[in-house]
Amino acid sequence: MDTLYIRLGNDGMFFAACDGSRQVDYEIKTVPFKPGVSFNVSVHEALRSQPFASSEYREVRALCEGRATLVPLSEFDEDACEALYFFNFPGRRGRLRVFYDALPRQDAVLLFGVDKAVCRTLEEAFPQVVFQSVETPLLLHFAASSPRALPRRRLFVNLTAESMSVAACRSGRIELYNAFTLHHPEDALYYTLHVAKTWGFDASSDEVYVSGEAVMVDTMQKSTKPYLPNVFPVRIEEEFPGTPLCRESALPYDFVNLLLRTF
Protein backbone atom coordinates (compact mmCIF):
# COMPACT_ATOMS: atom_id res chain seq x y z
CA MET A 1 0.00 0.00 0.00
CA ASP A 2 1.43 3.37 -0.92
CA THR A 3 -1.52 5.74 -0.61
CA LEU A 4 -3.54 6.53 2.51
CA TYR A 5 -6.72 8.56 2.68
CA ILE A 6 -8.05 9.78 6.02
CA ARG A 7 -11.45 11.30 6.65
CA LEU A 8 -11.70 13.35 9.87
CA GLY A 9 -15.10 14.03 11.40
CA ASN A 10 -16.46 15.09 14.75
CA ASP A 11 -17.66 11.55 15.49
CA GLY A 12 -14.79 9.46 14.12
CA MET A 13 -12.09 8.78 11.54
CA PHE A 14 -12.08 6.71 8.38
CA PHE A 15 -8.93 5.18 6.89
CA ALA A 16 -8.65 3.91 3.31
CA ALA A 17 -5.36 2.49 2.05
CA CYS A 18 -4.62 1.35 -1.48
CA ASP A 19 -1.92 0.56 -3.99
CA GLY A 20 -1.56 3.75 -6.02
CA SER A 21 -1.65 1.78 -9.27
CA ARG A 22 -4.99 0.17 -8.41
CA GLN A 23 -7.17 2.80 -6.79
CA VAL A 24 -10.27 0.62 -6.79
CA ASP A 25 -9.35 -1.87 -4.07
CA TYR A 26 -9.18 -0.26 -0.65
CA GLU A 27 -8.55 -1.53 2.84
CA ILE A 28 -11.11 0.36 4.92
CA LYS A 29 -11.18 0.96 8.66
CA THR A 30 -13.60 3.03 10.70
CA VAL A 31 -12.67 4.34 14.15
CA PRO A 32 -15.50 5.96 16.15
CA PHE A 33 -14.56 8.59 18.71
CA LYS A 34 -15.48 8.25 22.38
CA PRO A 35 -18.01 10.83 23.64
CA GLY A 36 -16.56 13.55 25.84
CA VAL A 37 -12.98 13.17 24.60
CA SER A 38 -11.35 16.14 22.88
CA PHE A 39 -10.98 16.07 19.12
CA ASN A 40 -7.19 16.06 19.12
CA VAL A 41 -6.94 13.36 21.80
CA SER A 42 -9.39 11.25 19.80
CA VAL A 43 -7.22 11.61 16.68
CA HIS A 44 -4.12 10.62 18.71
CA GLU A 45 -5.88 7.51 20.02
CA ALA A 46 -7.15 6.54 16.57
CA LEU A 47 -3.64 6.79 15.11
CA ARG A 48 -2.16 4.74 17.96
CA SER A 49 -4.77 2.01 17.53
CA GLN A 50 -4.39 1.55 13.78
CA PRO A 51 -1.68 -0.39 11.93
CA PHE A 52 -2.34 2.04 9.05
CA ALA A 53 -0.59 4.78 11.03
CA SER A 54 2.68 2.82 11.35
CA SER A 55 3.07 2.05 7.65
CA GLU A 56 5.03 3.99 5.05
CA TYR A 57 3.13 5.84 2.31
CA ARG A 58 4.08 7.78 -0.75
CA GLU A 59 0.96 9.94 -0.42
CA VAL A 60 -1.33 10.77 2.50
CA ARG A 61 -4.41 12.91 2.11
CA ALA A 62 -6.59 14.05 5.02
CA LEU A 63 -10.17 15.03 4.24
CA CYS A 64 -11.41 17.39 6.96
CA GLU A 65 -14.81 18.56 8.13
CA GLY A 66 -15.21 22.25 8.86
CA ARG A 67 -16.73 25.41 7.52
CA ALA A 68 -15.67 26.44 4.05
CA THR A 69 -16.21 29.40 1.75
CA LEU A 70 -16.00 29.61 -2.03
CA VAL A 71 -13.96 32.44 -3.59
CA PRO A 72 -13.82 33.34 -7.30
CA LEU A 73 -10.34 32.77 -8.68
CA SER A 74 -10.26 36.36 -9.97
CA GLU A 75 -10.62 37.62 -6.38
CA PHE A 76 -8.31 35.11 -4.71
CA ASP A 77 -5.18 36.34 -2.93
CA GLU A 78 -3.11 33.66 -1.20
CA ASP A 79 -1.74 36.21 1.26
CA ALA A 80 -5.27 37.22 2.29
CA CYS A 81 -6.65 33.70 2.92
CA GLU A 82 -6.81 34.00 6.70
CA ALA A 83 -8.28 37.49 6.65
CA LEU A 84 -11.02 36.46 4.23
CA TYR A 85 -11.81 33.18 5.97
CA PHE A 86 -12.09 34.70 9.44
CA PHE A 87 -14.09 37.63 8.08
CA ASN A 88 -16.71 35.07 7.05
CA PHE A 89 -16.25 32.81 10.08
CA PRO A 90 -15.06 34.85 13.09
CA GLY A 91 -14.52 33.32 16.49
CA ARG A 92 -11.82 30.62 16.12
CA ARG A 93 -8.93 32.59 14.65
CA GLY A 94 -6.42 31.32 17.20
CA ARG A 95 -7.38 27.65 16.86
CA LEU A 96 -7.67 27.07 13.12
CA ARG A 97 -5.14 26.87 10.32
CA VAL A 98 -6.55 28.02 6.99
CA PHE A 99 -6.02 26.02 3.79
CA TYR A 100 -7.41 26.27 0.28
CA ASP A 101 -8.36 23.84 -2.47
CA ALA A 102 -8.38 24.86 -6.12
CA LEU A 103 -11.48 23.67 -7.99
CA PRO A 104 -10.49 22.63 -11.52
CA ARG A 105 -12.63 24.07 -14.33
CA GLN A 106 -14.62 26.15 -11.84
CA ASP A 107 -12.38 29.24 -11.69
CA ALA A 108 -12.82 29.12 -7.93
CA VAL A 109 -10.94 28.35 -4.72
CA LEU A 110 -12.40 26.83 -1.55
CA LEU A 111 -11.07 28.16 1.77
CA PHE A 112 -11.41 25.93 4.84
CA GLY A 113 -10.08 25.69 8.38
CA VAL A 114 -8.55 22.78 10.32
CA ASP A 115 -7.82 22.63 14.04
CA LYS A 116 -4.15 23.54 14.52
CA ALA A 117 -3.53 20.85 17.14
CA VAL A 118 -4.96 18.19 14.83
CA CYS A 119 -2.78 19.47 11.99
CA ARG A 120 0.31 19.02 14.15
CA THR A 121 -0.79 15.53 15.23
CA LEU A 122 -1.25 14.37 11.64
CA GLU A 123 1.95 16.04 10.43
CA GLU A 124 3.93 14.28 13.16
CA ALA A 125 2.52 10.94 12.02
CA PHE A 126 2.66 11.71 8.28
CA PRO A 127 5.04 14.55 7.31
CA GLN A 128 3.80 14.33 3.70
CA VAL A 129 0.11 14.76 4.59
CA VAL A 130 -1.99 17.06 2.39
CA PHE A 131 -5.15 18.58 3.88
CA GLN A 132 -8.36 18.90 1.89
CA SER A 133 -11.93 19.95 2.67
CA VAL A 134 -14.74 17.38 2.66
CA GLU A 135 -16.61 19.87 0.49
CA THR A 136 -14.12 19.71 -2.37
CA PRO A 137 -14.94 16.23 -3.75
CA LEU A 138 -18.64 16.98 -3.24
CA LEU A 139 -18.54 20.24 -5.19
CA LEU A 140 -16.51 18.74 -8.03
CA HIS A 141 -18.84 15.74 -8.21
CA PHE A 142 -21.94 17.93 -8.18
CA ALA A 143 -20.58 20.08 -10.99
CA ALA A 144 -19.74 16.97 -13.01
CA SER A 145 -23.29 15.70 -12.38
CA SER A 146 -24.73 18.80 -14.02
CA PRO A 147 -23.18 18.47 -17.51
CA ARG A 148 -22.83 21.36 -19.93
CA ALA A 149 -25.32 19.77 -22.32
CA LEU A 150 -28.02 19.93 -19.63
CA PRO A 151 -29.60 23.41 -19.56
CA ARG A 152 -31.82 22.93 -16.49
CA ARG A 153 -30.56 23.74 -13.04
CA ARG A 154 -29.69 21.23 -10.37
CA LEU A 155 -29.58 21.94 -6.65
CA PHE A 156 -27.45 19.51 -4.62
CA VAL A 157 -28.07 19.24 -0.88
CA ASN A 158 -25.78 17.20 1.39
CA LEU A 159 -26.91 16.51 4.95
CA THR A 160 -25.07 15.51 8.12
CA ALA A 161 -26.28 15.33 11.71
CA GLU A 162 -25.50 18.96 12.49
CA SER A 163 -24.97 20.73 9.17
CA MET A 164 -25.79 20.89 5.49
CA SER A 165 -24.20 22.22 2.33
CA VAL A 166 -26.00 23.40 -0.79
CA ALA A 167 -24.49 23.72 -4.27
CA ALA A 168 -26.41 25.21 -7.19
CA CYS A 169 -25.06 23.96 -10.53
CA ARG A 170 -25.89 24.52 -14.17
CA SER A 171 -24.08 23.45 -17.34
CA GLY A 172 -21.10 22.08 -15.42
CA ARG A 173 -20.61 25.21 -13.32
CA ILE A 174 -21.08 25.90 -9.63
CA GLU A 175 -23.12 29.10 -9.53
CA LEU A 176 -23.86 29.24 -5.80
CA TYR A 177 -22.57 27.47 -2.70
CA ASN A 178 -23.29 27.80 1.00
CA ALA A 179 -23.22 25.75 4.19
CA PHE A 180 -25.46 25.99 7.23
CA THR A 181 -25.60 24.72 10.81
CA LEU A 182 -28.76 22.76 11.60
CA HIS A 183 -30.36 23.52 14.96
CA HIS A 184 -33.87 22.20 14.27
CA PRO A 185 -35.35 19.51 11.97
CA GLU A 186 -37.02 22.19 9.84
CA ASP A 187 -33.80 24.09 9.18
CA ALA A 188 -32.75 21.98 6.19
CA LEU A 189 -36.02 22.67 4.36
CA TYR A 190 -35.89 26.38 5.18
CA TYR A 191 -32.33 26.83 3.89
CA THR A 192 -32.98 24.78 0.75
CA LEU A 193 -36.04 26.84 -0.16
CA HIS A 194 -34.13 30.06 0.60
CA VAL A 195 -31.28 29.09 -1.74
CA ALA A 196 -33.74 27.98 -4.43
CA LYS A 197 -35.54 31.33 -4.26
CA THR A 198 -32.27 33.31 -4.28
CA TRP A 199 -31.07 31.37 -7.31
CA GLY A 200 -34.30 31.80 -9.29
CA PHE A 201 -35.04 28.06 -9.22
CA ASP A 202 -37.83 26.90 -11.55
CA ALA A 203 -39.74 24.28 -9.55
CA SER A 204 -41.52 22.94 -12.63
CA SER A 205 -38.37 21.80 -14.43
CA ASP A 206 -35.27 22.17 -12.23
CA GLU A 207 -34.15 19.36 -9.94
CA VAL A 208 -33.01 18.81 -6.35
CA TYR A 209 -30.70 15.94 -5.32
CA VAL A 210 -30.35 15.12 -1.62
CA SER A 211 -27.41 13.10 -0.26
CA GLY A 212 -26.13 12.29 3.21
CA GLU A 213 -27.38 10.28 6.16
CA ALA A 214 -30.18 7.98 5.00
CA VAL A 215 -32.84 8.95 7.57
CA MET A 216 -32.24 12.65 6.99
CA VAL A 217 -32.37 12.17 3.21
CA ASP A 218 -35.76 10.45 3.40
CA THR A 219 -37.16 13.13 5.71
CA MET A 220 -35.79 15.91 3.50
CA GLN A 221 -37.29 14.41 0.35
CA LYS A 222 -40.75 14.17 1.91
CA SER A 223 -40.68 17.70 3.34
CA THR A 224 -39.33 19.27 0.13
CA LYS A 225 -41.67 17.50 -2.32
CA PRO A 226 -44.68 19.83 -1.81
CA TYR A 227 -42.57 22.88 -2.71
CA LEU A 228 -40.01 21.50 -5.18
CA PRO A 229 -41.57 18.42 -6.82
CA ASN A 230 -38.47 17.25 -8.71
CA VAL A 231 -36.51 16.07 -5.67
CA PHE A 232 -34.49 12.85 -5.75
CA PRO A 233 -32.63 10.98 -2.99
CA VAL A 234 -29.01 10.03 -3.70
CA ARG A 235 -28.07 6.54 -2.56
CA ILE A 236 -24.49 5.31 -2.87
CA GLU A 237 -25.48 1.75 -3.79
CA GLU A 238 -27.70 3.05 -6.62
CA GLU A 239 -25.35 5.73 -7.89
CA PHE A 240 -22.31 3.46 -7.93
CA PRO A 241 -23.70 -0.08 -8.44
CA GLY A 242 -21.23 -2.91 -8.24
CA THR A 243 -18.59 -0.85 -6.46
CA PRO A 244 -17.07 -2.68 -3.45
CA LEU A 245 -17.18 0.59 -1.49
CA CYS A 246 -20.98 0.36 -1.53
CA ARG A 247 -20.71 -2.42 1.01
CA GLU A 248 -19.12 0.07 3.39
CA SER A 249 -22.46 1.61 4.35
CA ALA A 250 -20.94 3.90 6.98
CA LEU A 251 -18.67 5.74 4.54
CA PRO A 252 -19.68 9.39 4.11
CA TYR A 253 -20.75 10.43 0.63
CA ASP A 254 -17.89 12.93 0.29
CA PHE A 255 -15.30 10.24 1.10
CA VAL A 256 -16.78 7.80 -1.43
CA ASN A 257 -16.60 10.48 -4.13
CA LEU A 258 -12.96 11.16 -3.31
CA LEU A 259 -12.01 7.47 -3.38
CA LEU A 260 -13.88 6.80 -6.62
CA ARG A 261 -12.68 10.00 -8.33
CA THR A 262 -16.14 10.79 -9.65
CA PHE A 263 -15.20 14.27 -10.85
Asked whether residue 249 carries a pLDDT value surpassing 70, the answer given is no
- Say yes or no: 14 and 58 in one domain: yes
Question: How does the average pLDDT of the chain come out, rounded?
Answer: 91
Order of strands, edge to edge, in the sheet holding 12-18?
27-32, 12-18, 3-8, 59-64, 130-133
- Give me the domain span that covers residue 213: 145-239
Asked whether residue 185 carries a pLDDT value surpassing 60, the answer given is yes
Q: Tell me whether residue 127 is in a domain.
A: yes
- Say yes or no: 111 and 25 in one domain: yes
| Closest C-alpha among 200, 179, 208 to residue 191 | 179
Rounded CA separation 22/28 (Å): 15
Q: Tell me whether residue 29 is in a domain.
A: yes
Cβ-proximal residues to 116 (8 Å cutoff; 6+ apart), any chain: 95, 96, 97
- Say yes or no: 7 and 105 in one domain: yes
Asked whether residue 146 carries a pLDDT value surpassing 60, the answer given is yes
Predicted local confidence at residue 202, as pLDDT? 92
Asked whether residue 162 carries a pLDDT value surpassing 80, the answer given is yes
Q: Is there a contact between 139 and 166 (Cβ–Cβ < 8 Å)? A: no
Q: What is the DSSP letter of 259?
A: H
The whole-number average pLDDT for the span 104-112 is: 94
Asked whether residue 231 carries a pLDDT value surpassing 70, the answer given is yes
The whole-number average pLDDT for the span 193-218 is: 92
Predicted local confidence at residue 233, as pLDDT? 94
| Closest C-alpha among 75, 62, 58, 60 to residue 14 | 62
Instruction: Kindly tell me the sign of the dihedral angle through the C-alpha atoms of 182, 239, 138, 177.
Output: negative
Q: Tell me the percentage of the chain whose pLDDT exceeds 90.
A: 71
Give the CATH number for residue 23: 3.30.420.250
Q: How many CB atoms lie within 10 A of CB 189?
A: 18
Order of strands, edge to edge, in the sheet holding 68-72?
68-72, 108-115, 96-103
Give the CATH number for residue 223: 3.30.420.260
- Say yes or no: 160 and 222 in one domain: yes
Predicted local confidence at residue 23, as pLDDT? 58
What are the phi and psi torsion angles at 140 (to 5°)? -70, -35
Rounded CA separation 66/132 (Å): 10
**DSSP for 187-223, written as a single string:** HHHHHHHHHHHHHT--TTT-EEEEEESHHHHHHHHHH
Give SS3 for 48: helix
Q: What are the percentages of helix, strand and coil residues in the chain, rounded to 5?
A: 35, 30, 35
- Say yes or no: 117 and 197 in one domain: no
- Say yes or no: 26 and 109 in one domain: yes
Q: What's the total number of domains in the chain?
A: 2
Rounded CA separation 103/77 (Å): 15
Query: How sure is the predictor about 84, in pLDDT bands with cuts at 50, 70 and 90?
Result: very high
More confident residue, 246 or 125: 125
Q: Tell me whether residue 253 is in a domain.
A: no
